[in-house]
Amino acid sequence: MQIKLVDLEKQYFRYKTEIDNELRRVISSTHFIQGPQVKAFESELSKFVNIPFCISCGNGTDALQIALMACELQENAEIIIPAFSYVAPLEAAAILKLKPVLIDSDPTSFNIDPLKIPPLITSQTRAIIAVHLFGQACDMATIKKLTEKTGIKIIEDNAQSLGSEHILKQEKVTTGSIGDISTTSFFPSKVLGCFGDGGAIFTADNNLAQKIKMIANHGQAQKYQHELVGVNSRLDTIQAAVLSVKLKYLAEDISKRQKAAEFYNEKFAGIEEIVTPAISSGNSHVFHQYTLRIKKKRNDLRKFLEENGIPSMIYYPVPLHLQKAYSYLGYKKGDFPVAEMLAEEVLSLPMHPDLNPEELSYIANKLLAFFKA
């Protein structure tokens, strides 16, 4: 059997007629930039995330850069960013000449370990980028408490956890609605993916929203009146049309991912070498990734799965403090022991809404066979 890590083809064929009709509509209108579908999608998505303002943009990395630009920070302002994460938050801070301050993760949730925040806070700390990794929220109550009255902005990188829920002060909230600004990505393999690149920025603050909107569109509110230094980062009308269709089915797709994860969890329970993903209390997990920790022979297991038609991925094989481009930050091996341990142990299995029971059994049984052999 040949399994896919993510099956975009099956997903497309589920909604083909609807998507094709919407695409045809955009093409016939030739309103390719800022067509009416863009505004409509932003409004639908802001309802889904339960936050007043959604501003779409070119991709999730731009979204982070624009969010940081909107905070109007001085050069060398310190930004706390997880070392075990995708590179985008670090890249966005570096490109703006801000000073990234890396932080280690919690080995159970894979997210920022909030207990490691206090020693990093200085008079120069201006923001923390809370990456909700793999599908669930960081410990936002603690992060909020630690940054309260400090003026430190919380930016949620929600590229992997759109649609997940979190309990904050006994209230159910959605990720992306908790910090000062949040961002997401519509890269095709994300939980809500488009047919190319796309992203969005969210805030509850009207002034901030207007500023973000201007920055994403050449710093202008009116054509040729450039009030701020901006960028060109817009969501194509075609992508907005695709996303509006897919958004209608997102909750259903997430519940299919959760069922697949439950199946895996049951199969792997009690296997000594495997640590299944833990859902932190008060969280719902949307399983952008189903990520195991493999205590022994991770790389051999990966090879064995590959030989059996099962792709898997290591997100992420090199923690950010050990990446060549960021060696100028002066970190060294040993600085973030949890990030380094996770890089050695993590393995993400095939995860998408269209995995059928036969495929799930096949994957799980091969994995078990490896450890029983």
Compute the least distance from the CB of residue 261 to ligand PLP, in Å: 18
Binding site for ligand PLP (CB under 6 A): 59-61, 85-86, 88, 131, 157, 159-160, 185, 187, 197, 199
Q: For 191, how many CA atoms within 13 A lie in the half-sphere containing its CB?
A: 30
Residue 255 CA: distances (Å) to CA of 111, 171, 251, 287: 22, 21, 6, 9
Compute the least distance from the CB of residue 237 to ligand PLP, in Å: 18
Q: How many other C-beta atoms lie within 10 A of the C-beta of residue 361?
A: 12
Q: Which residue is nearest to ligand PLP (CB)?
A: 60
Q: How many other C-beta atoms lie within 10 A of the C-beta of residue 149?
A: 5
Compute the least distance from the CB of residue 341 to ligand PLP, in Å: 20
Is residue 134 within 8 A of residue 287, CB to CB? The reply is yes
Please say which residue, 159 or 261, places its beta carbon nearer to ligand PLP: 159
Residue 196 CA: distances (Å) to CA of 31, 322, 345, 346, 357: 18, 29, 31, 27, 29
Please say which residue, 100 or 199, places its beta carbon nearer to ligand PLP: 199
Packed helices 357-372 and 298-307: angle between N→C axes, nearest 10 degrees? 130
Please say which residue, 191 or 360, places its beta carbon nearer to ligand PLP: 191
Please say which residue, 63 or 294, places its beta carbon nearer to ligand PLP: 63
Please say which residue, 86 or 370, places its beta carbon nearer to ligand PLP: 86
Please say which residue, 198 or 350, places its beta carbon nearer to ligand PLP: 198
Residue recorded with tokens 């997430």 = 254
Compute the least distance from the CB of residue 175 to ligand PLP, in Å: 12
Compute the least distance from the CB of residue 132 to ligand PLP, in Å: 8
Q: What's the angle, vertex CA 195, arms to CA 19 and CA 88, rounded to 5? A: 145
Compute the least distance from the CB of residue 137 to ligand PLP, in Å: 13
